[in-house]
Amino acid sequence: MAANAHSAKTASANQPQDDLLEEQLTRIRLSITEGPPYCQGTLSLPNSDFTLFYGKEGNAGRLNLSTATEAQLQQLADACQPATFGLNQQDVHDETYRKAGKLDKTDFLLAFDAIHAGLIDVVGEELVIPRYRMEETIRAEMYKLNVYGPGSFFKPHVDTPRSELQFGSLVIVFPTAHEGGALALREHEGEDENKVTKEWTFDSSALLANCTEPSIAYVAFFSDVEHEVLPVTSGYRVTITYNLYWTDRKTIPPAVSVPKPVPTNEDTLRTTMRALLDDPTFLPDGAVLMYGLHYKYPLDAHESPQNGRNALKNLTTRLKACDAVVLNVAQELGLPAKLGVLYITAEGRWHRSTILVLCDRVAPLSHMQQVEYPLWETLKRDYGGELLTRPLRRFDGKPIANVKWISTAPRFTRKETTFMAYGNEKSMETTYWEIYLRLSVGPAGDRGGKPRDLPASKEK
């Protein structure tokens, strides 16, 4: 593995220790429970909640979304504009990628309200946002009404984050007669021949067909998860989408302290980590443990150095699900923890040597006019970069962190993924990055202390 290349020479002599360490790191990895990145369900509502007013001034319509006839839905579809999506920072209308109608929120008024219906609280709990994050309440912002008529679909994409505070999307599907139009959610892990895809389906028409009372179906998912609306084969699938944000902490009154439940997955990881930290054979000299966050997080690439650093620090209060669990457990066990943006650069002839640099903020590389070679020097000098691997020729004499990877070490052959090109909106000002949690583990007997071979300056 690239990250361990510099220790390859001694690999055979240390085989038993290497095997033990690999087994110990696997134990941590397996204790991190990655739940599904979404939640779904149905909610029955009073008849009056289904009333929708829509249209432009002087040409408005009204219907009830639980009893609407096909002719009424056709009228609603006709009042829509073609839905666009974001591609390489442009708003694009391309019916081979997205075929659907949309109404902006200035052009409709709906009686149903996700917040008053209690749906936002349910979503907060069901998406397994750990208990200690719930003090930060969720803000739901209605985004658009969409009509997917016969033959409509939206190919795989990842929603464009509207700000660093956005973490998810909520889709409400109304009980208008339709078939098809299921939402597929996918997570891809590994690359090339090792790629594994997990898939989940939110089949709103099947869910609604099972309801005896007039109901809506809902799905909420972390917005960095790839999703696709499969073709609607008949009828009209009418939806409202919401963007889900963390509210800015400063606006929240101090939380009343009440005992909160502890999820089992957090207990499992805590027990595993505590046992390993007590075990003198586990990293006897200490080390830096790197955990690649399971989810992606939007960060603005054009911040000033101070704001950029703060953005990364503030992100620690907004981690999703298992990522928050790992940070929380590390902090409880007294391990210094911080987030960094990982850059994988290459140098040497044929780019044979991979250099991993952990920066304290996003480096807006794609916007730089000129990047000084080698890139790792720029990252180190201007973006708080910490070298995690040794450059081939130049080396300033300081030791390099003894780095172990809880998640698989990153490789250079990263292909462009869907999230970089396709979004649901054109804006790419705030976009997703590879973020790692850097945990510092001190030597046996002093786990909160400094690993033996680390320069003091890194352990602040």
Ligand X SMILES: O=C(O)CCC(=O)C(=O)O
Residues that bind Fe ion (CB under 5 A): 159, 424
Binding partner selected for residue 171 from ligand X, Fe ion, none, CB under the kind-specific 5 to 8 Å limit: ligand X
**Closer residue to ligand X, CB minimum distance, 180 or 384:** 180
**Closer residue to Fe ion, CB minimum distance, 154 or 291:** 154
Contact 199, 186 (CB under 8 A): yes
**Closer residue to ligand X, CB minimum distance, 164 or 226:** 226
Closest CB to ligand X belongs to which residue? 424
Binding partner selected for residue 224 from ligand X, Fe ion, none, CB under the kind-specific 5 to 8 Å limit: none
Amino acid identity, position 171:
V
Could you tell me where the DSSP H helices lie in 315-411? 321-332, 375-382
Helix H, strand E, coil C: the string for 407-457 is CCCCCCCCCCCHHHHEECCCCCCEEEECEEEEEEECCCCCCCCCCCCCCHH
**Closer residue to Fe ion, CB minimum distance, 185 or 344:** 185
Contact 434, 342 (CB under 8 A): yes
For the chain, count helices (H), then strands (E): 9, 28
Binding partner selected for residue 241 from Fe ion, ligand X, none, CB under the kind-specific 5 to 8 Å limit: ligand X
Binding partner selected for residue 172 from Fe ion, ligand X, none, CB under the kind-specific 5 to 8 Å limit: none
Distance of closest approach, residue 424 Cβ to Fe ion, in angstroms: 4
**Closer residue to Fe ion, CB minimum distance, 205 or 424:** 424
**Closer residue to Fe ion, CB minimum distance, 184 or 365:** 184
Distance of closest approach, residue 452 Cβ to ligand X, in angstroms: 49
User: How does 242-265 read in b/e, with b if 16+ C-beta sit within 10 Å?
Assistant: bbbbbeeeeeeeeeeeeeeeebeb
Binding partner selected for residue 166 from ligand X, Fe ion, none, CB under the kind-specific 5 to 8 Å limit: none
Q: DSSP assignment of 40-101, as one string?
A: EEEEE--GGGGEEEEEETTEEEEEETTT--HHHHHHHHHHSEEP-EEETTEEE--TTTEE-E
Bridge partners (DSSP) of residue 245 are 139, 166
Residue 429 neighbours by CB under 8 Å, 6+ apart: 300, 301, 302
Binding partner selected for residue 229 from ligand X, Fe ion, none, CB under the kind-specific 5 to 8 Å limit: ligand X
Closest of 326, 66, 340 to residue 216, by C-alpha:
66
**Closer residue to ligand X, CB minimum distance, 149 or 410:** 149
Tokens of 177: 């007669």
**Closer residue to ligand X, CB minimum distance, 127 or 171:** 171
What is residue 379's DSSP assignment?
H
Distance of closest approach, residue 418 Cβ to Fe ion, in angstroms: 11
Binding partner selected for residue 239 from ligand X, Fe ion, none, CB under the kind-specific 5 to 8 Å limit: ligand X
**Closer residue to ligand X, CB minimum distance, 159 or 164:** 159
**Closer residue to ligand X, CB minimum distance, 83 or 337:** 83
3-state SS class at 318: coil
Binding partner selected for residue 289 from Fe ion, ligand X, none, CB under the kind-specific 5 to 8 Å limit: none
Instruction: Measure the CA angle with vertex 125, ends 120 and 127; round to 5°.
Output: 90
Distance of closest approach, residue 289 Cβ to ligand X, in angstroms: 36
Closest of 395, 404, 402, 391 to residue 436, by C-alpha:
404
Binding partner selected for residue 74 from ligand X, Fe ion, none, CB under the kind-specific 5 to 8 Å limit: none
Contact 359, 343 (CB under 8 A): yes
Distance of closest approach, residue 233 Cβ to Fe ion, in angstroms: 20
Q: Is the peptide bond before 284 cis (omega within 30 degrees of 0)?
A: no
Alpha-carbon span 387 to 80, nearest angstrom: 52
Bridge partners (DSSP) of residue 453 are none
Distance of closest approach, residue 100 Cβ to ligand X, in angstroms: 8
Distance of closest approach, residue 159 Cβ to Fe ion, in angstroms: 4
Distance of closest approach, residue 103 Cβ to ligand X, in angstroms: 12
What's phi and psi for 183, nearest 5 deg?
A: -100, 120
Tokens of 138: 């969720």
**Closer residue to Fe ion, CB minimum distance, 185 or 406:** 185
Binding interface with ligand X (CB under 6 A): 146, 154, 159, 171, 183, 227, 229, 239, 241, 424
